Structure 1
Amino acid sequence: MRLLAISVLILTACSTTTAPNSKTLPPLEAGLTGNSSQLIVVISDHWDATQGQLYSFEKMHNRWQTQPMSGAVTLGKKGLAWGLGLHPVQSGLQKTEGDGRAPAGLFTLSGAFGYATTLATAMPYQAMQADDFCIDVATSPLYNQTVARRKFQLAWTANSTEPMRRDLHLNGDQAYQQGLFIDHNPKNIAGAGSCIFMHLWQSPDSATAGCTAMAKPQLSALLRWLDPAKKPLYLLLPKQQYLLLTQAWQLPELPSTP
């Protein structure tokens, strides 16, 4: 997440339920993806899946071309639910604070963060400090924002459970050693989910609280590839939903799997 001082907003971080009811959905509004030329796609098997497959695409000559960055990811421990992003509001199960679901839909990637002073990426980068927290308390005026706690009233930050330096607060945890901000819930609607990132996984079998996690080599490759001038986007959908929306949303054809 980013510090409030540089105006970067984010969303909720990181029992099987019935899959959300979904209709054939309308196409994206004109121009929604037209000015983007980098796209990260994650596909899950179904709405309650905790794992997915990542693909990367770059638009060349007005066509999405497959890029080499791909691999396994882990998702929310309860699966997926519709998030709030660039896509029109959808019918079905909606992402809420603390539900353990990763937000599905199309989102901007506004920047990177990590523990080190610098990171090998062209994306805007925030080096996190011990006092930096993403505020996941829905009643706080700072909800879904990453801030230095010392700069604000204690009552606004005291109950946040999202330290951005997990290594300092959570026994050396390296999950946020490097990551990307997924801009879910950009209007910071209370209770709609906060602090959503791409970050390092604990293991290939460890689901998240709602983020997308992966191995370090894969995330490092994405960070090196992403270019803010190309307005990178992130798309997360179950496979069936992706196939339904491929034509309407003009999504790239997924590479065939062995």
Structure 2
Amino acid sequence: MKATDLVVTPTHLRFMGRKFPCSVGKGGISTNKKEGDGATPRGTHRLVGMLYRPDKMVRPTDWALPIRPRDLWSDDPTHEDYNMMVRAPYPHSHEKLRRADRLYDLVILTDWNWPYAVKGRGSAIFIHRWRKPGHPTEGCIGLRPADLAWIAPRIQHSTRLIVL
């Protein structure tokens, strides 16, 4: 492991010599992730993108992409766009990226089950802000907004997400 890796345990994330409290999935950390289990997948994952709300914050890095009003994430395992960013109108099951709450103001995308999704393995694992301390996610990794804002511009191309 390198100092530039994001290393996650059930209660905290380590990055660049610092330790941040975090939340993981309500299903805990799992070596056998399945669709709908609420688990965070154990393993080493690449970071493949960053999205942000330009109406809520400044661009955190030069490679971050804005979340636009019609941006969605397909979570329909029966559709060919499963686990991909799509645009409204989209008639299949999806999640809005531009949410009314602030959960997805800043999102770091991982390569979990992407870009070639295996049906039933579970859709996207994001790193995003948490709802509140100790509140589990649906499988993603949640951080305090200030910690996420500190981490985002320091991520490098070689940064990995390692879930222990």
Instruction: Check whether TM > 0.5.
Output: yes
- Report SS of the residue matched to 2:81: coil
Compare the two structures and name the one with the higher helix fraction. 1
Partner of 2:160: 233
Post-superposition Cα deviations, 1:49-86, rounded to whole Å, max 9, x if no partner, equal xxx21111xxxxxxxxxx2432110010111212xxxx
* Amino acid of the structure 2 residue aligned with 1:180: I
Task: Answer whether contact 1:97 1:191 (CA < 8 A) is retained.
Answer: yes
Equivalents in 2 of 1:111, 1:165: separation in Å? 16
**Are 1:132 and 2:59 matched, yes or no?**
no
Report deviation, 1:37.
Answer: 7.5
- Report SS of the residue matched to 2:5: strand
Equivalents in 2 of 1:178, 1:95: separation in Å? 24
* Amino acid of the structure 1 residue aligned with 2:86: V
Post-superposition Cα deviations, 1:114-162, rounded to whole Å, max 9, x if no partner, equal 111642224x212112211111111011000011134xxx4xx4322x1
- Report SS of the residue matched to 1:166: coil
Equivalents in 1 of 2:111, 2:70: separation in Å? 22
Aligned residue pairs, count: 161
Partner of 1:30: none
Task: Answer whether contact 2:23 2:130 (CA < 8 A) is retained.
Answer: yes
Equivalents in 2 of 1:43, 1:234: separation in Å? 11
Provide TM-score, normalisation by structure 1. Answer: 0.59
Equivalents in 2 of 1:37, 1:185: separation in Å? 25
Q: In structure 2, which of residues 46, 49, 65 is the aligned counterpart of residue 108 of structure 1?
A: 46
Provide TM-score, normalisation by structure 2. Answer: 0.90
Whose radius of gyration is greater, 1 or 2?
1
Equivalent residue runs for 1:31-50 within 5 Å:
38-44=4-10
Residue segments in structure 2 that go unaligned for 5+ positions in a row: none
- Report SS of the residue matched to 2:13: strand
Partner of 1:163: 96
- Any runs of at least 4 consecutive aligned residues in structure 1 with deviations exceeding 4 A, and if so which? none
Equivalents in 2 of 1:126, 1:105: separation in Å? 26
* Amino acid of the structure 1 residue aligned with 2:47: L
Residue segments in structure 1 that go unaligned for 5+ positions in a row: 1-32, 45-51, 57-66, 83-93, 168-172, 238-258
